[in-house]
C-alpha cells in the first residue's frame, strides 16, 4: 500500500509556526525533537519528519479504516533512515527535499517503491470514507490512489500491479 504527503514550504511559513510553544511537543517524540534541534536546517527537518508521519498514516488509515489524529505515535526512527513505526506496523518512507517543497512517500515493503507511479488526476476518482481509488482501464482493476496537495503543489500516486519495468514490457506486449 502507498501514502504520500507534500508540504509547500512558502505556505507552511505563512500557515504554521512550529516554534510556537507546545507545537513540537504535540507532534514529535523527544528523539525527533532532539533531531530537529540538532539539525542545520530545522525548518526542513520539521516538515520532513511531519510529511513522513503523514504519508505513513495514510497507509494505516486506508488499511484500518480508523481515523485518528495521532502524529506523535508515528515515530520516525532516527537511526534507521526513513523507517516509521506505529504500534506493530512498520512503514518505509523516502523524502524529497527541495527549496520549495518537501515530499514524502510511504510503503510497507521497500520493494514497493519501484511500483509507485505518478499520475495526473484520473477522471473517475472514487472515495470511500474519504480514501481515494480509481478504475484502471489498462488492467481492469481498482487501483489505490494517494493524493496530496498543499499550496502550489500536488502529487497523485498509485501502485502498479508489477514493478514498472514489467509493466512497460507488458504495454509493449513483449
Partner 1 sequence: MNQEEILQKLKGILQPFVKNQEAFINLTEDTDFINDLQINSANLVDIVLDTEEVFDIEIDNISMEKMVTIKAALEIINIKLSEK
In the complex, the residues that contact partner 1 under the rule CB under 8 A are 7, 12, 15-17, 20-23, 26-27, 50, 54, 67-70, 72-73, 130, 150
Q: In 33-68, which positions are buried (b, 16+ CB within 10 angstroms) versus exposed (e)?
A: eebbeeeeeeebbbbbbbbbbbbbbbbbbbeeeeee
The residue (of 28 and 134) whose beta carbon lies closer to partner 1 is: 28
Closest separation in Å from C-beta 103 to partner 1? 15
- As measured in angstroms, the least distance from the Cβ of 54 to partner 1 is 7
For residue 148, how many C-alpha atoms fall within 13 Å in the half-sphere facing its CB? 25
Distance, CA of 70 to CA of 86 (rounded, Å): 10
- Supply φ then ψ for residue 152, to 5 degrees: -80, -5
Q: Cβ of residue 16: shortest distance to partner 1, in angstroms?
A: 5
The total of other beta-carbon atoms located within 10 Å of residue 147's CB is 18
CA dihedral 29, 52, 2, 151 (to 10 degrees): 130
Distance in Å, CB of 26 to partner 1, minimum: 5
| Residue listed under C-alpha cell 482501464 | 137
Nearer to partner 1, 11 or 166 (CB): 11
Based on CB atoms, which residue is closest to partner 1, 12 or 160?
12
Closest CB to partner 1 among residues 88, 140 = 88
* C-beta closer to partner 1: residue 28 or 160: 28
65 close to 56: Cβ distance less than 8 angstroms: no
Residue 22 grid cell = 507546545
Q: Min. distance of Cβ 41 from partner 1 in angstroms?
A: 18
Amino acid at each position: 500500500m502507498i501514502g504520500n504527503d507534500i508540504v509547500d514550504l512558502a505556505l507552511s511559513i505563512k500557515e504554521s509556526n512550529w516554534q510556537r510553544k507546545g507545537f513540537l511537543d504535540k507532534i514529535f517524540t523527544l528523539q525527533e525533537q532532539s533531531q530537529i534541534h540538532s539539525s542545520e536546517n530545522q525548518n526542513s527537518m520539521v516538515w520532513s519528519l511531519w510529511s513522513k508521519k503523514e504519508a505513513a498514516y495514510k497507509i494505516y488509515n486506508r488499511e484500518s479504516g480508523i481515523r485518528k489524529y495521532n502524529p506523535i505515535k508515528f515515530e520516525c526512527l532516527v537511526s534507521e533512515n526513513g523507517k516509521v513505526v506505529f504500534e506493530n506496523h512498520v512503514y518505509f518512507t523516502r523524502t524529497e527535499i527541495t527549496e520549495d517543497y518537501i515530499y514524502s512517500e510511504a510503503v510497507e515493503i521497500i520493494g514497493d517503491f519501484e511500483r509507485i507511479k505518478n499520475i495526473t488526476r484520473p477522471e473517475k476518482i472514487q472515495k470511500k470514507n474519504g480514501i481515494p481509488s480509481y478504475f484502471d482501464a489498462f488492467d481492469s482493476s481498482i487501483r489505490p490512489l494517494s493524493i496530496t496537495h498543499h499550496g502550489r503543489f500536488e502529487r497523485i500516486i498509485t501502485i502498479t500491479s508489477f514493478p514498472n519495468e514489467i509493466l512497460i514490457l507488458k504495454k509493449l506486449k513483449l
